[in-house]
Chains A and B, each alone.
Chain A
Amino acid sequence: GENVEQHPSTLSVQEGDSAVIKCTYSDSASNYFPWYKQELGKRPQLIIDIRSNVGEKKDQRIAVTLNKTAKHFSLHITETQPEDSAVYFCAASKNTGGYNKLIFGAGTRLAVHP
């Protein structure tokens, strides 16, 4: 089955710096790659996603890139702010029997210091 590895497990940056989180996946048939942000004690929330027919997607300060050949995708956050501090999860899925079974990475704890 699908396996998703996520690095680093923790990331500490200064406010205004950029942050990059990387994920690799094992199943070449995976075609959907969302990123979730989870603040302390809260539920995960979708922040951006990318499909396999696209190489890059941007939404204001966040962007995701996908390299299908290498089977990895990354989250880029520019001009980080303290409110970006959270745990970020990547996930991968493919449509199996009409259902996209999301498999998550282990998470990256991002700390943005003022």
Chain B
Amino acid sequence: NAGVTQTPKFQVLKTGQSMTLQCAQDMNHEYMSWYRQDPGMGLRLIHYSVGAGITDQGEVPNGYNVSRSTTEDFPLRLLSAAPSQTSVYFCASSYRPAESYGYTFGSGTRLTVV
């Protein structure tokens, strides 16, 4: 039982490049979400999913796409990276209802866009 696994741990991109941050969980959690963490701003919700095939936008969705084709995987795609997307990205998952089980976070991906 690996929990929530994020890859890569570190990434440097050039402005305009695209990439996908991977998130996988092996706990059969229905809920999955992506947050970005910036100094002094806490964790801000980018996108979330309540199950395979169902996704929705969070607080800061612009510049990011997601899909959920399986229960286990929830990748985050940056279509055209910008320096403003330099951040630490966390994936989180939970059983349903989340308020009864809490969220489990991955170890994070530190992304730098130059």
Contact = CB atoms under 8 A, between A and B. Distances in A.
B97 A44 contact: no
Contacts of B103: 34, 46, 102
Nearest to A49: B102
Contacts, number: 66
Interface of B: 31, 33, 35, 40-45, 48, 50, 56, 58-59, 90, 94, 96-99, 102-103, 105-108
Contacts of A105: 42
B31 A46 contact: no
Interface residues of A, number: 29
B108 A104 contact: no
Given A1-B59, A9-B40, A100 B106 contact: no
Contact of B43 (A9, A44, A49, A95): A44
Interface string A93-112: 10101111111111100000
Contact of A104 (B43, B94, B106, B107): B43
B48 A101 contact: yes
Contacts of B96: 98
A103 B56 CA distance: 15
